[in-house]
Amino acid sequence: MRKLEIKDIEDIALGAALLGAGGGGDPYIGKLIAIGAIREMGPATLIDPEELADDAQVAAIAMMGAPTVLAEKAIGGNEYRALMDMVSQFLGKPLDAIFPIEAGGVNSMLPIAASARMGIPIVDADGMGRAFPELQMVTFTIGGIDSCPMALTDEKGNTVLYRTISNKWTEDLARAVTMSCGGAVSVALYPMTGKQLKEYGVRNILTRSQRLGEAIRTVKDYEESGTSEDHFLEFTEGYKLFKGKITDVLRETRGAFNFGRVLLDGIGEYKGRNAYVDFQNENLLANVDGEILATVPDLVCLVDAETFSPVTTDALKYGKRVVVVGLQCFEMWRSKAGLELVGPRYFGCDTDYIPVEVRCRGGQKND
Amino acid sequence: MIKLGIDVGGTNTDAVLIDEKMEVIAEIKRPTSEDVYSGIVGAIRAVLDVSGIDPGQIRQAMLGTTQCTNAIVERKHLAPVALIRIGAPATLGLPPMVDWADDIRAAVVDSIIVGGGFEYDGSLLAELDEDAIREFLYRIKGRAASVAISCVFSGVRNEHEVRAAEICREVLGEDIHVSISSEIGSMGLIERENATILNASLIYVANSFTEGFARSLADMGICKAEIFLSQNDGTLMTMEHARKYPVLTIACGPTNSIRGAGYLSGKRNALVVDVGGTTTDLGMIRNGFPRESSIAATIGGVRTSFRMPDVVTIGLGGGSIVREHEDGTVTVGPDSVGFEITEKALVFGGTVLTATDIAVRLGMFTLGDPERVRQIPKDLAEKAMGCIRTMAEDAIDAMKVSSGDVDVVFVGGGSIILPEELQGASSETKPAYFGTANAIGSAISKVSGVIEKLIDYDKIPRETALEAAKKEAIRSAEEAGALPGTVEIVEVEDVPLQYYPGNTNRVKIKAAGDLK
C-alpha cells in the first residue's frame, strides 16, 4: 500500500501514454482531473492485488467517449459516487476498491481521481496492460467475467445500468447512450471479486507506468554521453524496430474509430530504408522494408527520437522524427482466447500473431 | 500617407517607415531601454532624422511589443482578477488553475463555477444561473479590477458568456473590465480559461503600454496617426481592442519576422529562415500568414490556447562556436559567442572560431579581416560548412508539411553564413532590409477575424456550411477594422472529429483584409 500524491501523477501519465501504444489521447486533461481531486480530497491509496481479500468486491472505473468533449466538460465530480452507489446497490454489497480498465492518457488518470474522491483504494492492476479501442478487449473476457452490471452516468446526473448478453453488446449499447449524453460519460464496469482480479488482472500497471514515466523524464540526463536511446530501450525492455521521419499520414474515420497508416523514411542507421505503422486508434502493426516486425497484441509505440516522449496517433505529422519501439504484451493475450479477442486478424491485419521477440530475432533486436 | 512600424524586442527596438506604395523609406535599430519608452522615442527620433519625413505625414503607427509576455513571466503589475466559470454540473470535478504555480495563481482573488453552458452540438447543458453570478459579484465588489468568464463549449455558442458579462456591468458598473473566453481561445476549456484569466490580469499593463505608446508618438509630433498593436497571429488590433485583449500581443515578435520576410520577398507561401547570432528560427508563411502551431503554448508556466506561430528554433547562428574533435569530426554550436561576436570571432581579432569565420574563410563574403582566417585548414572549413548545411537542411525538412521542395527566404544578420542550394529549397531569396523584418512585419499587417465551430455535415451540407462560416469570418474581420471588399479567406481548417456521431468536423476559418 502506498499513497499516490500530486508529484506521482506526472510520471504515471507519461508512462501510461507510452503503454497507450498510440491511443488514449492527450493525457493533459486526465492529469488535471487527478491533480484537482487529490488537491481537494488528499492523496489516493494504491494497493497491490495481493492486499485484496478473495471475496472483496471491486470494479473498474473509466471514461467512454470523445477526448475532445472531456476537454470541455471535464467531470462533475459526483459521478464516481453515483456509479459506486448503483453497482453496490445492485450487488447488495459495497465496493472495497476500484481499478483502471486500461493504460492510456485519460483512463489511467480518472480512476486515481475516483479513488481520491470516494476514499477507497485503487488496485495496481488493469484489464489490458496497454490500451485497446473496445470495451470487451480485456483479459477479463478471457476469464468469462461479465462487463455487467455496468453503471453509466453523465455529469448531469442521468444514469443507466446495463445487463447485456455479451461484452460486445455492452460496448455497442454504451456507445449509443454516450452520444445522447453529450459525448463523454463515466462508467463502472467489470464488477468482480478480489480473487478474479488477482487471477486475470494485469498487475503493477500503475507502478510500471510511473517507472516508465520517470525513465522517459530522466532519459535526457544521458544526452551528453549519447546513450539516451540505449537507456530508454533498457528501461522499457523495448525492441527498437525502426528510426525514421514521418513522410505521410493517411487517415480515415470509420464508425467511432480513427484508422490510418503512417509512412516513415529511415534516418541514422536506418537511412535508405522504409517502414509503415498501421493504426486503429492504437497502433496495430509495424512493417519495415516489407517485413512485419510487430503486431497487436504486442505494443507498437512511437516515441519522439530526441525526447522519447510518446507520440499519440492524433499527434502524428509530417517531418516528425520518431523511434518505433515494440514492447511485449501481457502473457495472457498470447493465448488462443486472447488472440481471438485482440490478435492481428481481429483488426483486419492479414497475418498470424508471432511474438515481437521472435519476429525481431536475427539482427533487428537491440542487444 | 506614411506608416510607422516599431518592434520592441529583448535586445533591440527597431523602427521603419513605409510609404503608401508599401515601399520601405527608412529603417533603424536602437538598443531596447530599461523603461521601454525612451527606447521607442529614441528609435522614432532616429528614423525621422534619417528619412527627413514630417511627423504629420504619419497616419498609421503599429507597435509589436513583448511587455505582456514579460509581465506574466515576471508576475509583475498583474491586476486582481475574479473568475466566473459557467458549466455546472459539468466541470465541478476540475477546479480552475489546478496546475498553476502559487505566485501566478495569486492574481485570482476569487472564483466560482455556476450553472450553465452547452453541449458539443449547441444544445443546452444547463440554464444559466444568473442569481449565483450576481451573488458572487457582490462578494468580490471592490476586490477585483477585472473579471474573467469561461463557459463550457462557448466556442460553439457564447450567449451565456455574453449574458454573464452584461450582469458584471450591471452589478460592478460600466467601467469594469470583462474578458470572455470565446473571444480569446479555442477548443479546450482549461486552456481557453487560462488564457482568459491571463488576459484579465493584464489590464494594467495594457493601459500602460497603449497610453505610453500614444504619448511617445505625441511627444514626437505624430498626432494624426491611428494606433495599432500587433497580435501573435500576424494581424493588427486597434488600441481600444488591445486594452480589452492584451494577451493577444504575446509572442508577436516571431510572427512579425515571418510576415515581414514574406512581404520583403514578395512570397505568400514560403519557408522563412531567420538567422541571428545564436539561434535560427524557422517558420512557414501560408497565404501571407504564419502557420500556427498545433501544440498548446505555455506562457510563464500556464498552458493556454493561443494562436501561436509554429516556429522551430535550432542552435545555429553567426556566432556559433566551431570545434574540431579528436576523432576528426567537426561540430558547430549550439553555444555561441552571441553579441560579443565583434570581439571574439577570429575575423574581428578574437580567438574563437565561429561559423562566421568559416564562411569568410570559404570566400562566401568579406567581413572584418579575412587574413586572420587564412590559416584555417580548408578541409576543416569545408567539414564545418557541411555541418551547417546539414543543420539547416534538417530544420527546413522538419518544417515542411509534405515532401515537395519549398521556396526559402533568408532574413536576419546571421543569414550570410548559410551556403547556397540547400536541399529541399526550390528557390532561395535574401531580400533587402532583412535586418528589420520584424518591424516591417508589424507595419504591413492586416486585420483579421476568426471563427471556430463544430459542424455536422450530415445535418448541413459541407459546401453550404463552409460558405456560411466564411461569410461569418469576413464579417468578423470587418468588425475588427478591415476595409470591406479587401477581406479574403486566408485559412480554412476542416478536421473530422473522432468518436463524434454523424459527420462532425471542427471548422476554423480566418479572414483578413487591409486596414480601413
In a domain, B459, yes or no: yes
Contacts of B312 in chain A (CB under 8 A): none
Rounded Cα–Cα distance for residues B204 and B219 (Å): 22
CATH code given to domain A229-359: 2.40.390.10
Task: Give the residue from chain A lying closest to B122, CA to CA.
Answer: A182
Residues 6+ apart with CB under 8 A from B17: B2, B3, B4, B5, B24, B25, B26, B27, B47, B51, B53, B58
Reported as half-sphere exposure (CB side, CA atoms, 13 A), residue B436 has a value of: 27
Tell me whether B89 touches chain A (CB under 8 Å): yes
> B165 and B45, same structural domain?
no
In a domain, B211, yes or no: yes
Last residue of a domain, one of B162, B182, B201: B201
In a domain, B303, yes or no: yes
In a domain, B328, yes or no: yes
What tens digit of pLDDT does each residue of A74-110 get? 999 899 999 999 999 999 999 999 999 999 878 999 9
Q: Position of cell 527627413?
A: B52
Per-residue confidence (pLDDT) for residue B125, from 0 to 100: 95
Q: Residue B88 — pLDDT band, cuts 50, 70, 90?
A: very high
Amino acid of residue B401: V
Contacts of A183 in chain B (CB under 8 A): 119-120, 499-500
Task: Give the residue from chain B lying closest to A253, CA to CA.
Answer: B498
> B220 and B189, same structural domain?
no
Tell me whether A309 touches chain B (CB under 8 Å): no
| pLDDT of B404 above 70 | yes
> B112 and B17, same structural domain?
no
Task: Give the residue from chain B lying closest to A313, CA to CA.
Answer: B498
In a domain, B255, yes or no: no
Q: Position of cell 498583474?
A: B78
In a domain, B172, yes or no: yes
| pLDDT of A46 above 90 | yes
DSSP string of B454-486?
EEETTTS-HHHHHHHHHHHHHHHHHHTTBPTTS
> B458 and B359, same structural domain?
no
Q: Parallel, antiparallel, or unpaired for β B302-303 and B298-299?
A: antiparallel
Q: What is the DSSP letter of B53?
A: -
Domain boundaries, chain A: 2-203, 229-359
Tell me whether B127 touches chain A (CB under 8 Å): no
State which H helix or E strand residue B398 sits in.
helix B378-399
> B94 and B181, same structural domain?
yes
> B469 and B393, same structural domain?
no
B/e letters for A267-295, b = 16+ CB within 10 Å, e = fewer, are beebeeebbbbbbbbbbbbbbbeeebbbb
Q: What is the rounded average pLDDT for all residues in chain A? A: 91
Among A68, A212, A61, A77, smallest CA distance to A150 is for A61
Strand order in the sheet with A150-153: A2-4, A44-47, A122-123, A97-100, A57-65, A184-193, A150-153, A159-162
Residue B240's domain is classified under what CATH number? Answer: 3.30.420.40
What tens digit of pLDDT does each residue of B281-330 get? 899 888 887 887 766 677 778 888 776 788 888 888 888 999 998 888 89
Per-residue confidence (pLDDT) for residue A255, from 0 to 100: 63
3-state secondary structure B135-170: HHHHHHCCCCCEEEEEECCCCCCCHHHHHHHHHHHH
| pLDDT of A232 above 80 | yes
Per-residue confidence (pLDDT) for residue A364, from 0 to 100: 42
B307–chain A nearest CA distance, Å:
18
Q: What is the DSSP letter of A313?
A: G
> B158 and B84, same structural domain?
yes
Q: Position of cell 491571463?
A: B198
Select from 3.20.10.10, 3.30.1490.20, 3.40.1610.10, 3.30.1020.10 the CATH code of A2-203.
3.40.1610.10
In a domain, B257, yes or no: no
Rounded Cα–Cα distance for residues B369 and B357 (Å): 10
Span A215-234, mean pLDDT?
83
> B397 and B331, same structural domain?
yes
State which H helix or E strand residue B290 sits in.
strand B289-290
Provide the percentage of residues in chain B whose pLDDT is more than 70.
97
Rounded Cα–Cα distance for residues B315 and B118 (Å): 46
Domain A2-203 and domain A229-359, same fold? Reply is no
What tens digit of pLDDT does each residue of A308-366 get? 989 988 778 777 889 999 999 999 999 999 999 999 999 999 999 999 999 987 544 44
Last residue of a domain, one of B378, B407, B431: B431
CB B342 within 8 A of CB B348: yes
> B167 and B235, same structural domain?
no
What tens digit of pLDDT does each residue of B473-484 get? 999 999 888 889
Amino acid of residue B290: P
> B421 and B326, same structural domain?
yes
> Between these two residues, B294 and B73, which has the higher pLDDT value?
B73
Residue B314's domain is classified under what CATH number? Answer: 3.30.420
CB contact under 8 A, B499 and A65: yes
This prediction has a pTM of 0.83
Span A126-148, mean pLDDT?
94
Contacts of B117 in chain A (CB under 8 A): 73
CB contact under 8 A, B397 and A319: yes
Domain count across chain B: 4
> B83 and B22, same structural domain?
no
State which H helix or E strand residue A114 sits in.
helix A110-118
Tell me whether B221 touches chain A (CB under 8 Å): no
B498–chain A nearest CA distance, Å:
6
How distant is the alpha carbon of residue B462 from its chain centre? 31
> B271 and B405, same structural domain?
yes
Contacts of A73 in chain B (CB under 8 A): 87, 90-91, 117, 125, 152-153, 189
In a domain, B256, yes or no: no
Q: At what angle do helices A205-218 and A6-19 cross, to 10 degrees?
A: 90
Q: Which of B158-172, B302-316, B404-418 has the lowest mean pLDDT?
A: B302-316
Per-residue confidence (pLDDT) for residue A248, from 0 to 100: 84
User: What was the ipTM of the complex prediction?
Assistant: 0.85
Interface of B with A in 380-439 (CB under 8 A): 397-403
Residue B374 belongs to domain spanning: 267-431
